[in-house]
Amino acid sequence: MRYSSIMNISLNPDVAIGYKSPSQQVRVITEKWFEENMYCPACPSDYLEPAPPNEKVIDFICPRCDERYQMKSTKRALGYRVTNSAYLPKITAIRKKTNPNYVFMHYDAHSMAVRNLIVVPRHFFSPDVIEKRKPLSSNARRSGWEGSTILLGRLPPDARIHLIMDGIVLPEHMIRATWQHFTFLEEIPTSSKGWLTDVLSYVRKLEKPEFTLADVYAFEDELRKLHPKNKHIKPKIRQQLQLLRDKGILEFLERGKYRIVK
């Protein structure tokens, strides 16, 4: 249960007294922090509840909207890739739209404080951002097991919602508003969602409020590498821009020219 309306970035190492394994200590400390400080970014609920022990990929559940969250913590800054759980169950969950939201915590092991806390809503995920890892060797205890890697850096910045940035807690109302901007992705077929998020990523890379179709066409070769089976890259780009316009993310100004709205 959350104890305060304001996040406390300090981690409490005392809750892990009695645990010898460093990994267990980190898990207990970060999960306790999450339980006491985290709210639901998807709805007005000001706390989350721990998931039942038999839930394998879910750590916390919102008692109000039933959104489910998996938490990962690291003392290293988050990079392009994040190692995650078994590949096939993850892909299956994404296709069935039963995958959880992910919360990534970056903490400072010396000061025992949360430096960055990022939530990635489940509706941003597609099989395109999940990479299969090499199977474990025949000598491994789980021989043949295939893990997965989340290509976090391939997602547009809109998918990485900061709750805490460089030790600064960001306003809850801003977090929830940002979450709602892209809930329309839940309606997009999983098979085509990767295209939409990839095009949005390149639009964001332009870093300007207004852009032209030619600006996005400049990424044609990169998009071809990401989607090698598609032979009609430019029409696909136009299709995604139109969808982003229809959903209020972009505004059409004139032929071949757009403005970013959100």
Give the residue extent of every domain in the chain: 13-170, 192-260
Q: Which pLDDT band, with edges at 50, 70 and 90, does 3 fall under?
A: low
Q: Which residues does 130 contact at the CB level (< 8 Å), separation at least 6?
A: 87, 90, 91, 94, 148, 149, 150, 151
What fold is seen in the domain 192-260?
A: Arc Repressor Mutant, subunit A (1.10.10)
pTM, full prediction: 0.93
What's the Rg (C-alpha) of the chain? 20
159 touches 121 (CB < 8 A): yes
Rounded Cα distance between 151 and 236, Å, is 22
Rounded Cα distance between 158 and 107, Å, is 22
Could you tell me the sign of the dihedral formed by the alpha carbons of 57, 142, 87, 158, in that order? Answer: positive
Three-state secondary-structure class, residue 81: strand
Rounded Cα distance between 123 and 100, Å, is 9
Other residues' Cβ atoms within 10 Å of the Cβ of residue 237: 21
Q: What is the mean pLDDT of residues 10-19?
A: 96
Q: What angle do CA 103, 107, 110 make, to 5 degrees?
A: 165
Give me the pLDDT at residue 224, please: 97
With residues binned 3-state (H G I as helix, E B as strand, rest as coil), the percentages for the chain, rounded to 5, are 40, 25, 40
Give me the pLDDT at residue 120, please: 98
Same fold, 13-170 and 192-260: no
Rounded Cα distance between 30 and 24, Å, is 10
CATH architecture of the region 13-170: 3-Layer(aba) Sandwich (3.40)
Predicted confidence (pLDDT) per residue in 147-180, tens digit: 999 999 999 999 999 999 999 999 999 999 999 9
Question: Scanning the structure block, which residue is given the tokens 């892209």?
Answer: 182
Q: What is the mean pLDDT of residues 2-27?
A: 90
Q: Which pLDDT band, with edges at 50, 70 and 90, does 4 fall under?
A: low
User: Across 99-209, where does the E strand assignment appear?
Assistant: 101-108, 113-120, 130-132, 147-151, 161-165, 168-169
Rounded Cα distance between 175 and 166, Å, is 16
Query: In 104-138, which positions are buried (b, 16+ CB within 10 angstroms) versus exposed (e)?
Result: bbbbeeeeeebbbbbbbbbbbbbebbbbeeeeeee
Rounded Cα distance between 172 and 153, Å, is 24
Q: What is the mean pLDDT of residues 19-26?
A: 94
Q: Which pLDDT band, with edges at 50, 70 and 90, does 6 fall under?
A: confident
Torsion of CA 72, 75, 76, 77, to 10 degrees: 70
